Amino acid sequence: MSEHIVSWKVYLVIFVLLMVGTGTTVWAAFQNFGPFNIVIALGIATIKATLVVLYFMHARYSPRRTQLVIVCSVFWLAIMLALTLADYQTRQPRESRLSPSVVSYHA
Amino acid sequence: MPDTHYLNATYGYGIRTWLLTTDHKRIALLYLCSVTVFFFIGGVLATMIRIHLLTPGGALVTPETYNKLFTMHGVAMIFFFLIPSIPAVLGNFLIPLMIGAKDLAFPKINLLSWYIYIIGGCFVLYSFGTGGLDTGWTFYTPLSSVYSNSAVTPAVVGIFINGFSSILTGLNFIVTIHTMRAPGMTWFRLPLFAWAHYATSLVMILGTPVIAITLLLAGLERMFHLGFFNPALGGDPILFQHLFWFYSHPAVYIMVLPAMGVVSEIIPTFARKPIFGYSFIAGSSIAIAVIGFLVWAHHMFVTGESTYAALTFSFLSYLVAIPSAVKVFNWTATLYKGSISWDPPMVYALGFIGLFVIGGLTGLFLACLGLDIHIHDTYFVVAHFHYIMVGGAVMGYVGGLHFWWPKITGRLYPDSLSRFAAVILFVGFNLTFFPQFILGYLGMPRRYHTYPPEFQVLNVLSTAGASILALGYLLPMVYLAWSMRYGKVAGPNPWPATGLEWKTDSPPPTENFHVTPEVTWEPYDYNSRPDLGLAAGKPLAPAHGDD
Amino acid sequence: MQSQLPLYPPEASNFAPHVDALMVFITSVCVFFTAGITIAIVYFFFKYHRKAPDAVGIPIHEDSRLEAAWMIVPLILAMAMFGWGAVVYVDYRHTPRDTLDIYVTGKQWMWKLQQPNGLKEINELHVPVGRNIRLILASEDVIHDFFVPAFRVKMDVVPGHYNTMWFRPTKAGRYHFFCSQYCGTNHALMGGWVTVMEPSDYAAWLSGSSGGSDQVVAGEKLFAEKACITCHVPNGTGRSPSLNGLYGAQVLLADGTTVTADEAYIRESILQPNAKIVAGYQPLMPTFQGQLTEEQILALTAYIKSLQSQPVPVKGSGIAPPTGKK
Amino acid sequence: MRECRVHRTGDLFGQFQTLEQQKETAALGMWIFLATEVLFFGGMFLTYTINRHFYFTAFGIGSNTLDIKLGGFNTVVLILSSLTMAMAVWSAQTGKKKLVTGFLIATLSLGTVFLGVKVIEYKQKFDHHLIPGHGFDMTYRSSHPTPADDPREIAAEKEEVEKAFASDLDTNAHAQLYFSLYFAMTGLHALHMIVGAGLLVWLIKESFRGRFSPQYNTPVEIVGFYWHFVDIVWIYLFPLLYLIDRHR
Ligand code: HEA
Ligand code: HEA
Ligand code: CUA
Ligand SMILES: [Cu+2]
């Protein structure tokens, strides 16, 4: 396995993209997109995180098993979040404190 | 015995050479001593529980003390005995040997994880000593975070710390199995013990962090009066249960998978034939580890979780039973047309199968939604998990100790005495815990220091069984200790078995192998191993015969 | 007739026969597998016992058809267990309409139970045979669990929200109930007796044992004391909805969804008014979280439910916004 | 050679056969460690998510008391430190020994700046009685403005807080829940930064001795992984904690 050296130019480009992402996040937070504010915020954060993982952390050039580790960790996190939230979302009315009305009132 | 081996080479026996060692084999022995201490503590507490329950009113202690007894029993047994037992003792000792490596990938981290375990253990013992712990091993909030007056904080800190020991062990195993295999040791030549530990490690690294953070939050809640899980301050106690079981259900597979690995080694060795369905057993370990993460809320069927969630989790709980079934059937099939002996490890392994099957099958009762409503939090549950954990996992651990004892110490233990101990264990165990299934169905709730008189007969039976069981544990402790000095010298491969670990001296040298081994044979393949000195099996039947 | 060493508790509710049948089914499957495996092991063990010290077995590696078979057969049986269990469970969760409601409050370490007419009992519960009984469970401190083995019912009592459970007693008698979620020092003492009576005896018992303030009356008093009445006047003002006939109705919410106004909804409306806003109203109602004890909330709920029987006033004078009740 | 096996030859530890194997192993170890970290933080993110859904208003007013300028500045600082860390790895890989040290020092300095700003922010919360515990008071700042505070800002905050209290009398408890999570999450993040800073100090020491070269740079690379991960956590924490309900 010969090591892949990422050029410093790539790093700079990624850095600039991350900055743009940060700016966009802040800007979007001050707009009213209703329930989509959180979606946008997390979406951008995820893109930023992906860039860091792929380039700064060289995941793009790493062996398959490293990529597998990354996928697994995210997948397990998703299991935890999804199944727990599924319980909260489908509770009988009394427990649907999570109901969208809470959010929509503020929107 | 070889002149130099890991026990006496280099540094000799001095205490500092033990406390600073990075040799996985010595670290395994450090773990062996420490988990035994916790087993002993847990066992004494269990004995007190059983004596107390002899009479309906409670024969021994006050209610507070009784509650502390079972809590400390559960905490000591689960977090400080059973979870580290097989992985940290046998896994640590054997994985590098089995894959032909000189050590684990990160020897220093291995030692570190033992120290972490000890520090965590000290915190927990401190909590036991200063006020005890009366929350149940499940630490449900708000009882643990607000209402309990016992020493919850140090216990939680101790378990939090101990979690990292488990994480680091799992990490070490996975990396080692990935990168340190000897030439020729392909994935499908790995011993099933290694597969089981790979699966176990997956659970350790992906589950343990969640219990760590959960207990951290609960501890902070208790220390600083925060409200994460306290409804009085807006928190949600059910969320705690979700987080707790996200780890603690998969954790039951940390306990049983390694034991299954042990059995998968013992059975082919004493049946002297390749294990039936190697790839299915290997794959089922991984399947158990993965599906095991999807079933946690089956502990919460009556908390008021949503009906849909309950249905989902019940369904998935049944799925996770299938890979376990696969293992049991394959072990049984391995005996077919074998050349079976009943050396002590084999007796333990067969005992494991019997008790694990009962324990596992009673899991099916609990996973059944309509039935769990009635038996949840009764002695039925207590019986279920003791069957799997004590009858299954501990039996596997003791069996594994017997199997590899000659490798670890270079000596053999008395043959018939150890077989006798296995039988005592089996009988005592059933007498202790079978009555509890009936008790549970009759409606005796668990964690009760006093109970209605109609339950007394079964409780007395159970206590009687426990005293036989205690004897069953005492015996091996005595004769194994005895054998270290007076046992017969074992030689490198006393059984004989096919694994790589048996190709080196007993006890092995510090560097494990004098020359890096190369693997050219399939696992458990007696027929291509003239070096074992056995009559090469005459092919009486076609290799894939289904006659 | 229970023998000296019974294997199951008395069957005294509608659920008991189903649960016991399920138990018999799963037990037989499990006995079948345990016996099968044990017999196979013992048989192989003796049949293939080692003949000579250096004998080896015959290598048989794998058989995919066999593997498939012993995955599929258990899977089918497991699915049968799941399916049957699910059916019974759905029955548990599906409360019928005509229930006799009993409020149950758990606290360390006692149970307070309240009959619909306000009669209070401690660690004792009287119910008539043949009626559907619903328990509405609340906790004042930690998690408890209400468990009646003879009825095969059990439900956690969780602080912070209501759980409910139901059953129909089928046999008169006196049965144990227990707290089955560990709740601290005297967890084991937190139990009592359910007395199942013939309906006539029950009626006699109810009228015979006076005492205990009427739940609805207490609720009415609180309704005034806590100033609910200032907003919730019987005919509804423009700003606050009337509560008449609320219980059991479908309420249209501001976000367009509807909910059934059950106890839990009423409770939530009092404690977290903003969680669900009735369509057409502003979120003006303050929360009463922390100002009412569980018992007071129960009383208020009982009172609001009692408004049921009064004629529902005609709404929609043109000034009031849509009431949100369909 | 029989006695001592885990001896090292140069940079190669005894349990390995080749430097390459050693490097792969170390990298895999670090990645797996980071996987556990994902789940570790994940438990807290789940707690956050569920409570935020329960108490959106209270979380909003809590979040609005955070200083978006400081938070934003810190975000930039941390991402910049990720860049310098990546550059340090690059310098090591390309054999620029001086640059390695330089970039490592830059990374450490940026990390320290981040922690310094965090201290300032914590201090503010302390002054405003926003530390969870008995003294916690969501209304404190708006009712005790200091001359330094912008009166318009205070008025806005006051209105907002009053509105929240009107709809939810338990706003104080629920906002406290927000701050409990805020401190738990940022505190744990900061703890990771401190560990990272410790690792950087060690790397700098080694790199002064010229240890890192195109052949041997594993430590720089795996500490880099860790540092980037801590950065990623912040990438999520920033919008989740600072940017709730900002528009209004
Ligand atoms: C090592 C530990 C261990 C293991 C391996 C298991 C394995 C299983 N457990 Fe168990 N369990 C515990 C330890 C363990 N459990 C503990 C400690 C508790 C209580 C915690 C507490 O509250 O304190 C508990 C509680 C518990 C509950 C909650 C009960 C309650 O509180 O109400 C449930 C419910 O679903 C459950 C189910 C199962 C199932 C389905 C399996 C399955 O994995 C079992 C699979 C195995 C088999 C099925 C046997 C082999 C198969 C065959 C012989 C073929 C035939 C098979 C079929 C027909 C399908 N367990
Ligand atoms: C690995 C886990 C493990 C193990 C090995 C055991 C082992 C035993 N357990 Fe335990 N148990 C749990 C895990 C375990 N348990 C858990 C998690 C709980 C739930 C806790 C909770 O509710 O929070 C529990 C609860 C529990 C209860 C229920 C308490 C209650 O709900 O009120 C009971 C009651 O009988 C019990 C009994 C026993 C017995 C008799 C043994 C025996 O097998 C022990 C035998 C061992 C020894 C006795 C020590 C070794 C022997 C010697 C050194 C000989 C000399 C000693 C003497 C003569 C005393 N256990
Ligand atoms: Cu109340 Cu147990
Ligand atoms: Cu489980």
The residue whose two tokens read 């005992």 is B351
Mutate to test the interface with D, among C287, C288, C291, C292 (most CBs of D within 10 A): C287
Distance CA D222, CA D217 (A): 9
Q: How far is C28 from chain B (nearest CA, A)?
A: 11
In the prediction, which pLDDT does C118 show?
A: 78
CB C21 within 8 Å of CB C88? no
Q: How far is B224 from chain D (nearest CA, A)?
A: 6
The residue whose two tokens read 């140069």 is D10
Distance CA C227, CA C223 (A): 6
Compute and round to an integer the Cα radius of gyration of chain A: 19
Ligand nearest to the CA of B300: 1
Mean pLDDT of B386-412: 95
Number of residue pairs across A and C with CB atoms under 8 Å? 40
Say how many Å lie between the CA of residue B466 and the centre of ligand 2. Answer: 9
Return the C-alpha torsion angle C273, C278, C283, C284, nearest 10.
-80
Does residue B152 surpass a pLDDT of 90?
yes
**Residue B308 contacts A where some CB pair is shorter than 8 Å:** yes
Strands C124-128 and C192-197: parallel
Q: List, as ranges, residues 37-96 from A with C-beta within 8 Å of C.
A: 92-95
Q: List, as ranges, residues 474-513 from B with C-beta within 8 Å of C.
A: none
Structure tokens at D94: 């390309």
Q: Which chains does chain C touch, 3 or more C-beta pairs < 8 A?
A: A, B, D
Structure tokens at B474: 């005492």
CB B270 within 8 Å of CB B340? yes
Q: How far is B385 from chain C (nearest CA, A)?
A: 16
Handedness of CA D208, D209, D214, D216 (dihedral sign): negative
Name which residue leads in pLDDT, D193 or B10.
D193
Tell the CATH topology of D39-242: Four Helix Bundle (Hemerythrin (Met), subunit A) (1.20.120)
In the prediction, which pLDDT does D156 show?
A: 82
CB B234 within 8 Å of CB B288? no
* Segment holding B528, helix H or strand E: none
Angle at D179 between CA D175 and CA D184, to 5 degrees: 150
Number of residue pairs across B and C with CB atoms under 8 Å? 302
Cross-chain CB nearest to B210 (options D39, D132, D181): D39
Residue closest to B535 by CA, chosen among D214, A67, C58: C58
Q: How far is B197 from chain A (nearest CA, A)?
A: 17
Distance CA A95, CA C221 (A): 28
Beta-sheet strand order (sheet of C99-107): C120-122, C110-114, C99-107, C132-139, C163-167
Task: Give per-residue pLDDT as tens, B72-103.
Answer: 999 999 999 999 999 999 999 999 999 999 89
3-state helix/strand/coil string of B124-164: HHHHHHCCCCCCCCCCCCCHHHHHCCCCHHHHHHHHHHHHH
Taking CA atoms, what residue in A is nearest to C253? A101
Mean pLDDT of B461-484: 93
Task: Give per-residue pLDDT as tens, A52-102.
Answer: 999 999 888 888 889 999 999 999 999 999 999 999 888 765 433 322 222
Whole-prediction pTM value?
0.87
Give the confidence band of C219 by pLDDT, cuts at 50, 70, 90.
Answer: confident
Give the confidence band of B528 by pLDDT, cuts at 50, 70, 90.
Answer: confident
Structure tokens at C126: 């009287």
Distance CA B46, CA C307 (A): 56
Q: Is the ipTM of this complex over 0.85?
A: yes
Q: List, as ranges, residues 132-171 from B with C-beta within 8 Å of C.
A: 134, 136, 140, 142-143, 146-148
Mutate to test the interface with D, among B21, B106, B176, B179 (most CBs of D within 10 A): B179
Say how many Å lie between the CA of residue C253 and the centre of ligand 4. Answer: 38
Distance CA C258, CA C255 (A): 9
Q: List, as ranges, residues 269-298 from C with C-beta within 8 Å of D.
A: 272-274, 283-284, 286-291
The region of weakest confidence among B156-170, C108-122, C183-197 is C108-122
Mean pLDDT of C278-293: 80
User: Exposure string (b/e) for B156-191, b if CB count within 10 Å is 16 or more?
Assistant: bbbbbbbbbbbbbbbbbbbbbbbbbbbeebeeebbb
What CATH number has the domain spanning B15-530? 1.20.210.10
Distance CA B174, CA D25 (A): 10
Does residue B482 surpass a pLDDT of 90?
yes
Give the confidence band of B11 by pLDDT, cuts at 50, 70, 90.
Answer: low
Give the confidence band of C325 by pLDDT, cuts at 50, 70, 90.
Answer: very low
In the prediction, which pLDDT does B59 show?
A: 80
Name which residue leads in pLDDT, C242 or B346.
B346
Domain boundaries, chain A: 1-62, 63-94
Distance CA B105, CA B168 (A): 11
Angle at C316 between CA C313 and CA C321, to 5 degrees: 120
Does residue C206 surpass a pLDDT of 90?
no
Cross-chain CB nearest to C62 (options B147, B278, B376): B278
CB-CB neighbours of C309 under 10 Å: 9
**Residue D168 contacts C where some CB pair is shorter than 8 Å:** yes
Residues of C in contact with B274 (CB under 8 A): 59-61
**Alpha-helical segments (H) within B295-388:** 307-335, 344-367, 369-375, 379-386
**Identity (one letter) of the amino acid at D222?**
I
Taking CA atoms, what residue in D is nearest to A101? D53
Ligand 3 nearest-atom number relative to CA C181: 2
| DSSP track, B29-93 | HHHHHHHHHHHHHHHHHHHHHHHHTTSTT-SSS-HHHHHHHHHHHHHIIIIIIIHHIIIIIIIHH
* Segment holding C236, helix H or strand E: none
Residue owning the nearest CA to atom 1 of ligand 1: B252
Domain boundaries, chain B: 15-530
Ligand nearest to the CA of B291: 1
Q: Which residues pair with C154 in a beta bridge?
A: C147
Mean pLDDT of D90-94: 91
Residue owning the nearest CA to atom 1 of ligand 3: C144
Tell the CATH topology of C100-208: Immunoglobulin-like (2.60.40)
Q: Is D170–C287 a contact, with Cβ atoms under 8 angstroms apart?
A: yes
Query: Could you say which DSSP state residue A52 is in?
Result: I
Task: Give per-residue pLDDT as tens, B37-73.
Answer: 999 999 999 999 999 999 998 888 999 999 999 999 9
CB C111 within 8 Å of CB C124? no
Tell the CATH topology of C215-309: Cytochrome Bc1 Complex; Chain D, domain 2 (1.10.760)
> Which residues form the pocket of ligand 1, taking CB atoms under 6 Å from any ligand atom?
B 138, 252-253, 255-256, 298-299, 317, 320-321, 324-325, 328, 357, 360-361, 363-364, 366-367, 372, 376-377, 381, 384-385, 388-389, 393; C 29, 33, 37, 74, 77-78
Task: Give per-residue pLDDT as tens, A59-71.
Answer: 888 888 899 999 9
In the prediction, which pLDDT does C312 show?
A: 35
Task: Give per-residue pLDDT as tens, B163-219.
Answer: 999 999 999 999 999 999 999 999 999 999 999 999 999 999 999 999 999 999 999
Structure tokens at B440: 């549970």
Give the confidence band of B239 by pLDDT, cuts at 50, 70, 90.
Answer: very high
**Residue A32 contacts B where some CB pair is shorter than 8 Å:** no
Does residue B10 surpass a pLDDT of 80?
no
Q: Is B306–A90 a contact, with Cβ atoms under 8 angstroms apart?
A: yes
Q: Which of B384, B441, B447 to mutate to test the pocket of ligand 1 (most atoms within 8 A of CB)?
A: B384
Q: List, as ranges, residues 26-65 from D with C-beta within 8 Å of B.
A: 28-29, 32-33, 35-37, 39-44, 46-47, 50-51, 54-55
Mean pLDDT of C148-172: 93
**Residue D243 contacts A where some CB pair is shorter than 8 Å:** yes
Distance CA B252, CA B407 (A): 28
DSSP reduced 3-state for B287: helix
Ligand 3 nearest-atom number relative to CA C109: 1
Say how many Å lie between the CA of residue B351 and the centre of ligand 2. Answer: 19
**Mean pLDDT rounded to a whole number for chain C:** 83
3-state helix/strand/coil string of D177-232: HHHHHHHHHHHHHHHHHHHHHHHHHHHHHHHHCCCCCCCCCHHHHHHHHHHHHHHH
Those residues whose C-beta lies under 8 Å from the C-beta of residue C231, and which sit 6 or more positions away, are C237, C239, C240, C284, C285
Compute and round to an integer the Cα radius of gyration of chain B: 23
Structure tokens at D58: 């209270």
Give the confidence band of D10 by pLDDT, cuts at 50, 70, 90.
Answer: low
Number of residue pairs across A and D with CB atoms under 8 Å? 135
Distance CA B497, CA B523 (A): 10
- Measured in degrees and rounded to the nearest 5, phi and psi for residue C165 equal -150, 160
* Segment holding D41, helix H or strand E: helix D19-54
Ligand 2 nearest-atom number relative to CA B81: 1
Mutate to test the interface with A, among B180, B210, B286, B305 (most CBs of A within 10 A): B305
Does residue A34 surpass a pLDDT of 60?
yes
Structure tokens at B523: 């696992």
Task: Give per-residue pLDDT as tens, C167-187.
Answer: 999 999 999 999 999 999 999
Q: Which residues pair with C147 in a beta bridge?
A: C154, C178
Task: Give per-residue pLDDT as tens, D188-199.
Answer: 999 999 999 999
**Residue A87 contacts B where some CB pair is shorter than 8 Å:** yes
Ligand nearest to the CA of C27: 1
Tell the CATH topology of C2-93: Helix Hairpins (1.10.287)
Residues of B in contact with C44 (CB under 8 A): 332, 335-336, 338, 340
Q: Which chains does chain D touch, 3 or more C-beta pairs < 8 A?
A: A, B, C
Mean pLDDT of C214-234: 78
- Phi and psi based region of residue A58 (left: phi greater than 0; alpha: psi -120 to 50; beta: remaining): left
Q: Report the percent of chain B where pLDDT is more than 90.
A: 78
In the prediction, which pLDDT does A105 show?
A: 26
